Chains A and B, each alone.
Chain A
């Protein structure tokens, strides 16, 4: 936890925690027969929503995105991307501050000012050329930094993957986006943003289609890992589950080694004691479950 500021923040956190637990509590009794993952207790429902989303994508989003890509020149696509990206920078700055990243909040404010003026209202990303990188921060990440648990994985109709923590996060993100309050022309353009986002995701979706044995699980895992990576600001963090797997593997190997060494039957001389180094390694490994690797 990096920052827990005023009392009000604490109250917000407590409220959100309660909400997260409440939400995950009320339907945990749903059939768990086939769900394998702890983060995904509603797998059966989620899979249905995922199938629905993929159908919508196949018949609506993909064709529209394709048409948009062929009809619209690259300059316009980048312009749309930049314009809405720039409006979101306000949200980024707010969350920089809430997470105590003051240096980054100054940089992002600079980005917003430069692009809103010299960048013609955000159509051009001049700040990037000046070395002011784009950062991705939002309320879901802020909550995570404050220690709010992620909750369950949720597949939302039309909107795609999220988590229990992600929903209030997304609501606040929308509230902090000026595009929400501006009148008609910009709001109509927001449809363009969605289409634009779908067009940009084309490669990724094709990759999932090609690489995944189970596209639903593949999407879930890559989404959760990607969000975690954003929360940790790109620092590699091996998740506990994988840690355990690697430990299991080490133990299995260790068993095999000691099996192999005690296997040759016959004279007692052949039975060697377990090498001390290996034994201490294994004990160490078991006693520090959260260590990396």
Chain B
């Protein structure tokens, strides 16, 4: 039955071609994904995050605290290197924590960071962010200088420090009008760890998260 075999070969071929094309498409897709991740510059990471913030601020009232928290959780954890921030913030005490304690601290600290954003960026009155410049620092860091423009008020300088993690940039510090969030938290947390210990630190952070959620 030559006809059938010809047909069979044809079927077989088209199947292969299909498979190849599907594979090729998948390959292309994965390429663009890698490509897209790679080309997200430090500036873009910051600007995307700021856009998300403004978006949440604009819908702040309707979203409520819970809504803002849920909407910001992903953008915050994707643009910030929360693991690193949590670790730098406790300083040398990190090594004295058990791995369970470390894990718990990173978890609570991450929640606190999102909660702080959800609490502080709750309403919109015409604010916008303005990119100023980008500056490379030693040892693979970048500082993105931006301004928060508030109508009828002085601009607030927001400098973002970023470091490369994998092939993407992550925010590791925000310096608002010269006050470094990382340095501030670091002094605060190491002081509490030294005076009151680990449990108290976790308790204090949890209290703040609670307070933020109620206001």
A contact residues vs B (CB 8 Å cutoff): 34, 36-37, 210-214, 217-218, 220-222, 225-226, 228-230, 232, 234, 236, 238-239, 241-242, 245-246, 248-250, 252, 281, 284-285, 288, 291-293
Do A220 and B195 touch (CB < 8 A)? no
CB < 8 Å neighbour of A293 from B84, B139, B177, B187: B139
Assembly CA distance A199 to B91 (angstroms): 36
Contact yes or no, B188 A242, CB < 8 A: no
Judging by beta carbons under 8 Å apart, are A36 and B139 in contact? no
Contacts of A252 in B (CB 8 A): 87, 94
Q: Are A222 and B84 neighbours in the complex by a CB distance under 8 Å? A: no
Interfacial chain A residues near B161, Cβ < 8 Å = 238, 293
B71 contacts A by Cβ under 8 Å: no
For this complex, 24 residue pairs linking A to B, each with C-beta atoms less than 8 Å apart, are A36-B190, A36-B194, A36-B195, A37-B187, A213-B201, A213-B208, A214-B192, A217-B191, A221-B184, A222-B184, A228-B178, A232-B178, A236-B159, A236-B175, A241-B186, A242-B186, A245-B88, A245-B186, A250-B139, A252-B94, A281-B139, A288-B138, A291-B139, A293-B163
Given the known interface contacts A36-B190, A236-B159, A293-B139, the answer about A213 and B180 at a Cβ–Cβ threshold of 8 Å is no
CB pair B183 A239 closer than 8 Å:
yes
Closest chain-A Cβ to B17's Cβ sits at a distance in Å of 41
Q: Give bound CA distance, A34 to B194, whole Å.
A: 7
Closest to A293 in B: B141
* Other 6 A-B pairs with CB < 8 A, given A214-B191, A242-B182: A36-B194, A210-B211, A212-B188, A225-B179, A229-B179, A236-B175
| A54 to B141 alpha-carbon distance, docked (Å) | 40
Asked if A213 and B188 make an inter-chain contact with CB atoms under 8 angstroms apart, the answer reads yes
Query: How many angstroms from the CA of A229 to the CA of B184 in the assembled complex?
Result: 14
Q: Please, which residues of chain B bring their CB within 8 A of the CB of A234?
A: 157, 178
User: Within the complex, which residue of A37, A214, A249 is in contact with B88, where a contact is CB–CB below 8 Å?
Assistant: A249
Task: Tell me which residues across on chain A come within 8 A of B188, comparing CB atoms.
Answer: 212-214, 217-218, 221
B189 at the interface (CB under 8 A from A): yes
- Complex Cα–Cα for A284 and B172 (A): 21
B74 within 8 A of A: no
Total residues of chain B contacting the partner, CB 8 A: 44
State the CA gap A222–B178 with chains docked (Å): 9
A211 near B141: Cβ-Cβ < 8 Å: no
Across the interface, do B187 and A217 meet the contact criterion of CB distance under 8 Å?
A: yes
Identify the closest chain A residue to B205 (Cβ): A213
Give the residues in chain B near A230, CB-CB below 8 Å. Answer: 178
Q: Which residues of B contact A211 (CB under 8 A)?
A: 116, 208
* Interface residue B137 (Cβ < 8 Å from any Cβ of A): yes
Are B139 and A284 in contact, CB atoms less than 8 angstroms apart?
A: yes
Cα of A34 to Cα of B191 in the assembled complex, Å: 9
Contact: A213 with B189, CB < 8 Å?
Answer: yes
B204 within 8 A of A: yes
When the two chains form their complex, are residues A291 and B138 in contact, meaning their CB atoms are under 8 A apart?
Answer: yes
Nearest Cβ in chain B — how far from A29, in angstroms? Answer: 20
Q: Is the CB of B194 within 8 A of A285?
A: no
Contacts of A239 in B (CB 8 A): 180, 183
- What is the distance, in angstroms, from B209's C-beta to the closest C-beta of chain A? 11
Beta-carbon nearest neighbor of A236 in chain B: B159
Q: How far is the CA of A292 from the CA of B137 in the complex (A)?
A: 6
CA distance A285 to B161 in the complex (A): 18
Measured CA separation A36–B193 after assembly (Å): 10
Q: A221-B188, A248-B92 are in contact. Are A34 and B195 (CB under 8 A)?
A: yes
Q: How far is the CB of A85 from chain B (nearest CB, A)?
A: 14
Identify the interface centre among B175, B179, B192, B201: most chain A CB within 10 Å of its CB.
B179
> Contact at A292–B138, with CB atoms within 8 Å?
yes
Complex CA distance for A211 and B205, rounded to whole angstroms: 10
| Residue from B94, B163, B195, B212 having most chain A Cβ neighbours under 10 A | B195
Closest 8 CB pairs of A and B: A229-B178, A291-B138, A293-B141, A292-B137, A221-B187, A213-B204, A225-B179, A217-B188
Assembly CA distance A234 to B118 (angstroms): 28
